[in-house]
Amino acid sequence: MVDALMTQALRALSRLDLPAFRACVAELAGCRERLVDRLLLARLQEAVTAAWHRGWQPADVARFTGRTFGDRHRRLVVDVIAAESRAYPAATTDDAWLGQLSALDARVWWTHDHELPRGWCRREGVDRAVLLACALEVLHLLGTLPRLPKIAPLPGEPSSASAGPVDERMLAKVRALLAKAESTEFPEEAEALSARAQELMARHSIDHALLAARADGAEAAVGPAGRRLAVDAPYESPKAALLTVVAEANRCRAVWHRELGFSTVLGFPADLAAVEMMFTSLLVQATTAMVRAGAQRDAGGRSRTRSFRHAFLNAYAARIGERLRDAADRAAHAANRAAHADRAAAHDDAGGGTPSQNAEDELLPVLAARDRAVDQAVDELFPNLTRGRARAVSNYEGWVAGRAAADLAGLGSHCEIGDRHR
């Protein structure tokens, strides 16, 4: 009877029949508490497991639940994820998966499962009916999740070679530079800091590609990986455009899931880390500059703030894309010159004349091969991918302001921070 009531409640949600849903919740609240809780938790854990097999990951499920219902439902689904994760030993779970669980703080804070419902009600300050309604709404949402491409091994599956190591010391330097760029009040200093961060990431990516190309075994077998990044409201379209240009400048590809509130980014591990850090920092800088511009009104006093900000972020993304591509090209040319100088020095030490092979003969094919690998991964995971047309921009002032802000956050300078600040 309890199982049938739950099924009836889920059908009522599918029909948007809220009176019928509330009637089911009230009837379930009058049933044997321990039995209802046991069956409901079992159903929720099964639904979470099914979500993993449909390509979703812990961060995706938590983010989409919060986007759909709010923080209370998000906290509930995180608890369910923690309960479900007990079935997988940490040794058989991918590091990226464990990292998402840690970031969500998905942990079993209750001693026995039958204590979870009452403990959750106490923590949230709600009665049992609210718990049942939230749990059934989450269960319905999990049951209707669309299928996503699988971008990481499931718990219990062997980790793929694509989860290769990334230089954490380099990432720490980049994070520190971007944090300073976000916090400084001097645009010139932010420009120099961001430029240095992009140069570090681009050079690291090139070095990583060359090492992998020369290596044998597992390191050489490392291929494209994926991660999903949030694209939150408001102004999702220009934010997705910003992520796209950041990804392309770092030899990755971004696919926006408009209805789900995130993008899937595909690329090699070091490049993915660069994309996430740079996108997060540039979005902070863009938002700060956009808010500083204040509310906008036309000559008749009507609000133009939304169209201004939409145009601002679109222009910002377009200009940042230009500057990031320039920075990536400069990094590649610098790497070519350095490699050629090393080759020439080694040739001279050996008593030879002019080196017979230019360094570009090694670097360019390696980068081209990685680009092809990423494009192939996109084609395999998204065979029906379509390109959408960006929304028209109707606010000229916002467009001009956005390009100006992108220039201030520009990534084209090679000057030292101290010189630019003076």
**Residue 393: predicted pLDDT:** 61
**Residue 257: predicted pLDDT:** 94
- Asked whether the beta carbons of 207 and 268 are under 8 A apart, the reply is no
What is the mean pLDDT of the segment spanning 373-392? 83
Q: Residue 380: exposed, middle, or buried by beta-carbon count in 10 A (0-12, 13-18, 19+)?
A: exposed
How far does the chain reach from its first CA to its final CA, in angstroms? 76
Q: Which residue has the higher pLDDT, 422 or 193?
A: 193
pLDDT band (50, 70, 90) for residue 395? low
**Residue 175: predicted pLDDT:** 76
Instruction: Assess whether pLDDT exceeds 60 at residue 355.
Output: no
Q: Which two tokens stand for residue 382?
A: 């998204």
As a whole number, the mean pLDDT across the chain is 83
Which DSSP symbol is given to 260? T
Q: Which residue has the higher pLDDT, 175 or 147?
A: 147
Q: What are phi and psi of 192, to 5 degrees?
A: -65, -40
Distance CA 213, CA 67 (A): 42
Q: Which residue has the higher pLDDT, 18 or 294?
A: 18
**Residue 356: predicted pLDDT:** 46
List alpha helices for 116-233, DSSP H: 116-124, 128-143, 168-183, 187-214
What pTM was computed for the model? 0.80
What is the mean pLDDT of the segment spanning 344-360? 55
Cα radius of gyration rounded to whole Å, the chain? 25
- CA 279 distance to own-chain centroid: 9
pLDDT in tens, 195-234: 677 767 777 777 777 777 666 544 445 689 999 999 998 8
- Beta partners for 229? 263
Q: Which range has the top average pLDDT, 61-75, 160-174, 316-330, 340-354?
A: 61-75
What is the mean pLDDT of the segment spanning 54-83? 97
| 284: enclosing H helix or E strand | helix 269-292
- Which of 337-346, 378-387, 413-422 is the least confident region? 413-422
Q: Which residue has the higher pLDDT, 342 or 277?
A: 277
- Which of 170-179, 236-245, 307-316 is the least confident region? 170-179
pLDDT in tens, 115-168: 999 999 999 999 999 999 999 999 999 999 999 999 989 998 876 544 445 667
Instruction: Assess whether pLDDT exceeds 90 at residue 52.
Output: yes
**Residue 42: predicted pLDDT:** 97
Instruction: Assess whether pLDDT exceeds 50 at residue 77.
Output: yes
**Residue 252: predicted pLDDT:** 95
**Residue 136: predicted pLDDT:** 98
- Asked whether the beta carbons of 250 and 331 are under 8 A apart, the reply is no
Q: Which residue has the higher pLDDT, 48 or 352?
A: 48
Instruction: Assess whether pLDDT exceeds 90 at residue 361.
Output: no
**Residue 172: predicted pLDDT:** 79
**Residue 218: predicted pLDDT:** 46
- Asked whether the beta carbons of 243 and 267 are under 8 A apart, the reply is no
Q: Which residue has the higher pLDDT, 324 or 389?
A: 324
**Residue 197: predicted pLDDT:** 76
**Residue 132: predicted pLDDT:** 98
Q: Which two tokens stand for residue 316?
A: 């910002």
**3-class secondary-structure state, position 83:** helix
